[in-house]
Homo-oligomer: A and B are copies of this chain.
Amino acid sequence: MSLAPWRSRLTLALERNPQLNARYLQLATVGADNRPANRTVVFRGFYVDTDKLKFVVDARSQKITQIEQHPWAETCWYFPESREQFRISGCLTLVIANYPDLALQQARQDTWQELSDAARLQYTWPDPGQPKADAAAFESLPPNPKEPLPHFCLLLLQPVQVDHLELRGEPQNRWIYCRNDVNDWSTQAINP
């Protein structure tokens, strides 16, 4: 597969913004009440040989129901060092335990193994969003680093549109990349 034309721009942005925070971006979804939800997630790279962005989520969190009902999402990714923004919109796939596609099941397991111990430990904590449990409830042993806990999910975003804005241009530069039905990407320079 040839890479989408915006991939080289995103790679360059990640190189220009080497700090860990540059992998934090904001993922917006739509809730059952038709209202937007927006939270910070960590970019975990691309799913092998595709343009799908990888994230991890806890099946006990509120966003799971939102994603199951409305799989459409838009991420907003701002790079402070190079002063540029990528808005990436597309459809989400939630890879839960026992997901029917074996390759994705394997990807879920691989992603769990790539997490830090601290990140894995959070999946042993009591249910997110519930009234705060006693401190003791947070003192679990580290989970098995090989085998994901059942509520650990891999989340994939398949982009269909990317809006790239460079604030540093004179004037600012902005491009829209759109994917058509046969997976070809078009590129258009637009006014910022």
Query: How many copies altogether?
Result: 2
Whole-angstrom distance between the Cβ of A61 and the nearest chain B Cβ: 10
Interface size on A, residues (CB 8 A): 45
CB pair B85 A128 closer than 8 Å: no
Q: Which residues of B contact A85 (CB under 8 A)?
A: 39-40
CB-CB contacts below 8 Å: A156-184 with B: 171, 174, 176
* 18 further contact pairs, Cβ within 8 A, besides A28-B28, A40-B85, A131-B190: A24-B78, A24-B80, A28-B38, A35-B89, A36-B72, A36-B73, A36-B74, A39-B76, A39-B85, A39-B87, A40-B76, A125-B171, A125-B191, A128-B192, A129-B176, A131-B191, A133-B191, A138-B171
Could you give 19 example pairs across A and B, Cβ below 8 Å?
A: A21-B80, A24-B80, A28-B28, A28-B36, A28-B38, A30-B30, A34-B70, A35-B74, A36-B72, A37-B87, A38-B75, A39-B76, A40-B78, A125-B171, A125-B192, A126-B191, A128-B190, A131-B189, A132-B189
